[in-house]
Amino acid sequence: MMLFFENISLAFASLRANKARALLTMLGIIIGIGSVIAIVTVGNSLTNSISSSMASMGANNITVGLRQKENEDEVSEEGVTFRGPDRSKTPGEEDYITDDMIAEFRDTFPKEIAGISLEESLGSGKVTRGTNYANVSVSGVNKDYFSSTKIDMIAGNGLSDKAYNGGKAVALVSDRFVDNLFDGDPSLAIGQEVEVTIGQKFYDYTVVGVYKYEAAMMDFATPAKDIRTNMYVPVESVKRKTHNTAGYLQFTVIIGPDVVSKNFMGRIERFFEKYYHNNNDFEVSTFSLESLVSEFTSMMSTVSLAISVIAGISLLVGGIGVMNIMLVSISERTKEIGTRKALGATNGSIRVQFIMEAIVICTIGGMIGIVVGIIGGALGAKALGYEASPSVTSIIVSIVFSMVIGVFFGYYPASKAAKMNPIDALRYE
C-alpha cells in the first residue's frame, strides 16, 4: 500500500515538474471524453424531453380508429395477378364505430380498460368581442378525455357530469383566449356567453372554466394573439349540432397500469373484427405512441453512439500522445531509473511506477474532460430549449476508460524502463 501511494506521489511530482507538457498530453483525453459526455448529455436531454411530452399526451394509451382495407389482388383472364386500383373512400354512417360497440368493448375488457376517451370536432373558428378576437378549435369531449389529456385549470370548474350527460352548451377556454378577449382576467370570462363563428354557422357557449395553455412547438412562428387554442365542450353538444348519431371514426383507450399496450392492441383489433368482417371497405386498426417513443429512443441511442465513436477517435490520439510523452519522460529520467535499480528496485516496481504515472495523467485528463463535457452538454441542451440530463453511466465509463487508456498506452514505455540495464542507465548523459 505504501508503494502504491509512493508511486502516485512520484507521478504528481513528475506532472508538477512539467506542467505545460502534461496539460498538452492530457488535451486529447480531455477533448475525447468531453465530446462523448456532451453528445450523450444533449442526446439524453432531447430524448427525455420528447418522451416526457409524449407521456403527458398518454404514450401508453391506444388510439382505435377506422382504416381503409387494402385492395385485394385481382387476376386477369391471362392469369396475371395484379393489385386493383387504390381508391380512397370516405366512411359512411354504416361504417362508424357505434356507442353499442364501445359499450360491449368496455364490458369485454373491464380489467384492461381504465377509461375510453371520446372526441368529436365541431371545427375551427373565431370568437369576437368588440374589436378583439380569439381563434379556437371547438372539441367535444367526454369525461374520460381529461384522463388521457391533462389540463391545468386556473379558474372556474371543469365540465360537470350534468353537462356531459345533458350535452350542455358550456365550455372550457384557455388563458390565451382570456388574454385576447377579457384583458387576461379569468374572473371576467367565467359565466360569459360567447359566440363561435365556424364557416357560415354560429354557436353559443357559456364559459365555465379557464385552463392554462401549453405552448406548442410551432407557436413561435405565429403572433401570440393569432394562436389557435382548444375550446372544450361536452361531446353530446357537438353531436347534437352536427346531427351525428352514427358513432365515431376513432376513440382512445386509456389502459390499466399493468397492461402492455403492444399486446392489448392485437386483442382490440381481433375484438372489432367481428363487426367489420363483412365490411368491404373499412376495418379497425390501433396505434400507440409507446411504439413511436421506443423507436425514437432507439434511433437517438444509435445516433449518439455513432457520434460518440467518432469523438472517441480523439481518445486514441490522446492515448498515443500519452505513450509518446512517457517514452520522452523515460529518456529524460534514465539516470533516475538506473539509480533506483542500483539501489535494489525491481523491474516490477519500475514498471508500476511508470504505468501509475500514465494512469494519473489519463485520469486527471478524464476528470477534466467530464467537467468540460457536462458544461458543454448543459449549454447545448439549454440552447435547444431542453433540461440537461447528464448520463451517470457515461461518466463512470469515461473514468474507467481513461484509466484503461493509461494502462494500455503506458505499459510499453513502462516495460522499456523496467528492462533498462542499470549500468548503462548510470552511464547515460
Same domain as 248, residue 125: yes
Report the distance separating Cα 177 and Cα 232, nearest Å.
12
Q: Is residue 356 part of a domain?
A: yes
Q: Give the pLDDT mean for 330-352.
A: 75
Same domain as 99, residue 187: yes
Q: Is residue 393 part of a domain?
A: yes
Q: What is the three-class DSSP state of 172?
A: strand
Same domain as 301, residue 228: no
Same domain as 265, residue 132: yes
pLDDT the model gives residue 90:
87
Same domain as 385, residue 361: yes
pLDDT tens for 346-368 read 777 778 877 888 888 888 888 89
Q: Give the pLDDT mean for 132-139.
A: 95
Flag whether pLDDT at 423 surpasses 80: no
Which residue do the cell numbers 449518439 mark? 304
**3-state SS string for 187-256:** HHHCCCEEEEEECCEEEEEEEEEEEECCCCHHHHHCCHHHCCEEEEEEHHHHHHHHCCCCCECEEEEEEC
Q: Is residue 241 part of a domain?
A: yes
Residues written for the chain: 429
pLDDT the model gives residue 64:
93
Same domain as 378, residue 421: yes
Same domain as 329, residue 410: yes
Q: State the chain's mean pLDDT as an integer.
A: 82
Given 253, 288, 323, the domain boundary residue is 288
Same domain as 410, residue 301: yes
pLDDT the model gives residue 412:
78
pLDDT the model gives residue 27:
81
Same domain as 316, residue 265: no
Same domain as 383, residue 272: no
Percent of the chain with pLDDT over 70: 84
Q: Is residue 65 part of a domain?
A: no
Domain region containing 278: 93-288
Q: Is residue 307 part of a domain?
A: yes
DSSP-derived secondary structure for 115-167: EEE-EEEEEEEEEEETTEEEEEEEEEE-TTHHHHS--EEEEE----HHHHHHT
Flag whether pLDDT at 81 surpasses 70: no
Flag whether pLDDT at 78 surpasses 60: no
Based on the structure, what is the number of domains in the chain? Answer: 2
What global pTM score does this model have? 0.59
CA atoms within 13 A on the CB side of 33: 30
For the CA atoms of 21, 24, 25, 27, what is the dihedral angle to 10 degrees?
A: 160
Given 270, 288, 306, the domain boundary residue is 288
Q: Is residue 170 part of a domain?
A: yes
Report the distance separating Cα 20 and Cα 368, nearest Å.
15
Q: Give the confidence band of 148 by pLDDT, cuts at 50, 70, 90.
A: confident
Q: Is residue 261 part of a domain?
A: yes
pLDDT the model gives residue 218:
62
Q: Is residue 83 part of a domain?
A: no
Flag whether pLDDT at 210 surpasses 90: yes
Same domain as 264, residue 125: yes
pLDDT tens for 61-71 read 889 999 998 76
Same domain as 281, residue 304: no
Q: 247, 167, 170: which is closest to 210 by C-alpha?
A: 170
CA distances from 221 to 19, 216, 225, 227 (A): 52, 10, 12, 9
Q: Give the pLDDT mean for 102-121.
A: 93
Given 255, 272, 288, the domain boundary residue is 288
